[in-house]
Amino acid sequence: MKMRVKAALVAGALVISTGAGYGIGFAQGGQPHMQNALGDLQAARTELNAALRDKGGHRTAAVNLVNQAITQVEAGIAIGAGY
């Protein structure tokens, strides 16, 4: 009997977690790749800002390009969400 209860609990947890994952994807407007790209770009900007400044202007240029990319991805997400 105890094994069946454990199996039922595991199955229930799996169903709940699968449903939650679906809900998160739905809450993102069905744009998980755009959301992931946005997070990656924000992380890249953080890393670039933490890098040493002396890179012949290339670090600063990269930060500016990443900022432009973030703006474009945010605009794409907004359009995709119907805003």
Give 14-82 as a DSSP string: HHHHHHHHHHHHHHTTT-HHHHHHHHHHHHHHHHHHHS-S-STTHHHHHHHHHHHHHHHHHHHHHHHTT
Same domain as 54, residue 15 = no
Q: Tell me the whole-structure pTM to 2 decimals.
A: 0.63
Residue 66's domain comprises 31-83
Same domain as 81, residue 47 = yes
Amino acid at 69: A
The pLDDT assigned to 82 comes to 85
Same domain as 52, residue 66 = yes
Under 8 Å between Cβ of 53 and 59: yes
Q: What is the pLDDT of residues 35-81, one digit of tens each?
A: 999 999 999 999 999 999 989 999 999 999 999 999 999 999 999 98
Token digits of residue 51? 């890098």
